[in-house]
Amino acid sequence: MQEALERVSTGVTGLDEVLNGGLVQNRTYMIRGQPGAGKSILGLEFLVAGAEAGENVMYVNMEEPEHEIRQNAASLGIDVDDVAFLDLSPDSEFFADDLSYDIFAPDEVEGGAVTDQISERVESESPDRIFVDPITQMRHLSPDEYQFRKEVLSFMQFLKEQGATVLFTSQATELTPDDDLQFMCDGVVELERTNKGRTVTVPKFRGSSTLDGEHALRIAEGGIEVYPRLLPQQHEKTFPSETLPSGVPELDKLLNGGIERGTVTIVTGSPGVGKTTTGVQFMKEAAGRGERSVVYSFEEAKNTLVHRCESINIPVETMMEKGTLEIEEVEALRLSATEFAHMVRQEVEENDTSIVMIDGVEGYKQALRDEDDELARELHSVCRYLKNMGVTVILMNEIPTVVGEFQLTQAGLSYLSDSIVFIQHIEMNSRMRKVIGVLKKRTSDFERNVRQFRITEYGVDIGEPLDGLTGILTGNPTFERGEIGFESSSHQQAHADTRDVFVDDDNRAGKRSATRQPGDRVDERDRP
């Protein structure tokens, strides 16, 4: 049986997760990245984590002076008081006597004084962790590339023999690439900074597997935060197979009882048709069971959403006070898709959240800093993860047209869904109406009728099936002859009959509304 490798923390929890537990003890690792990528900060985090664990740690700074490193660390809230420094950075003496600037003086290059200083200090203090920043400055100690590689290999072997775990940075240029250094170390951590944000990858790691792909990185107060890429197949939870009702009897009839736990439902429709309100209705019912839900709002301010829900008898403020609902307003371009996925995962695993609503898909695409194809993959990963964890997902998909030819989704999302509910505006006799129906349900049968949809001061109100009304999905709704018991041969009369049906529906709802108070439970027989 293979002996387990001893691990040491990098000081960054998310990076330790990417490395499946941290760095392997007594090995050497290279940190690559362009200027400003965060290499030195990661090295500081590594040393501070060792110091907090009671280890001896050493920072060999070969470029930036110690006082500047301490100032930079303090600005991020990183305490380096227990870090020992071996300051080999150049100073003003190298400008004396009209000498051109060089990192090391000629006698150092010829005599190897720098490596001697490091060796003596390491032997006397026996540090458990060493950070060399940057090791590429040692090129100036060698007359050619062959000697440089030989010096580095010998230096690394010496440090490992002293029992140290070593991190070092490199400074690569077109004239002096660092590809050779990647072969000399046990692992490589690459930091990148682009207009999409910061990322970290681990292309090489001897002795252990790592999480593949790009992982989001952020430098904030306290240091570096890494958000590992979400891999749904690594997360799974046992959950009951059950149907979750909406609390609106007619909507539950359309869905054959409701939506199933651990499935994805897309609510699609034009702007302002009532998609969000319909989704929150499921959360209201879940709150009555003591379950927690969260809304990630990409398109609407939190206070606006709260006000709208409160005005139609959905008590979201009370739900938030009791902890059964959280509304997260996602600011545009603040997060990458990987960071958002991490936020969702943290919410689910820390709060046992049972329903997640993403409102809406187009806002998700606009707000997060990634390319369209990457966003689609990340959304798929989030939905698959949530399904594996038994979380019910509700996606709001907005189509651009208000009336006219029906469109299912804008982002090719139908393959993600287990159920699709559409809510659509229709124009009847110069009046705007709304209808609702179900297009897809993988887990059970469903009602194939179209019903009138209204939002009143008492919440979502759904009418009886509109039997005989055709052409809704084409944008030209009419009643067929003989379908509802009237003899009409003219298109005008058909519209008049349709108007009467909707007006009667409104009158019935109005009469009932006059006798109901906010908060009263609506009996199925008391609905239009």
Looking at residue 488, what is its pLDDT? 32
Range of the domain at 441: 243-453
Whether residue 469 is contained in a domain is answered as no
Domain count across the chain: 2
**Same domain as 119, residue 79:** yes
Whether residue 518 is contained in a domain is answered as no
**Same domain as 248, residue 217:** no
**Same domain as 141, residue 109:** yes
CA distance linking residue 528 with residue 508, whole number of Å: 6
CA distance linking residue 488 with residue 197, whole number of Å: 64
**Same domain as 191, residue 313:** no
CA distance linking residue 187 with residue 43, whole number of Å: 14
**Same domain as 51, residue 193:** yes
Whether residue 119 is contained in a domain is answered as yes
Looking at residue 146, what is its pLDDT? 78
Residue type, 497: D
Preceding omega of 360 cis (within 30 degrees of 0): yes
Looking at residue 400, what is its pLDDT? 66
Q: Please report, for the domain that includes residue 422, its CATH number.
A: 3.40.50.300
Looking at residue 99, what is its pLDDT? 45
Question: 101: which residues sit within 8 A by CB, 6+ positions away?
Answer: 90, 94, 95
Report DSSP state, residue 137.
G
Q: Please give the model's pTM, rounded to 2 decimal places.
A: 0.81
**Same domain as 448, residue 308:** yes
Q: Of 390, 418, 453, which residue is a domain's last?
A: 453
Q: What is the mean pLDDT of each run of 10 residues along the chain (528 residues)?
A: 78 95 94 92 96 96 93 94 91 49 44 72 92 84 76 86 92 76 91 88 93 93 93 93 96 97 94 93 97 95 95 96 96 87 96 95 81 80 96 90 52 79 84 90 93 93 85 70 38 42 49 43 42
**Same domain as 299, residue 216:** no
Alpha helices by DSSP H, 31-166: 39-52, 66-75, 106-111, 113-125, 145-161
**Same domain as 31, residue 61:** yes
* Cα end-to-end span (Å), the chain: 70
Report DSSP state, residue 298.
S
Comparing CA positions, the residue from 411, 386, 383 lying closest to residue 397 is 411
Looking at residue 519, what is its pLDDT? 43
Alpha helices by DSSP H, 168-229: 179-184
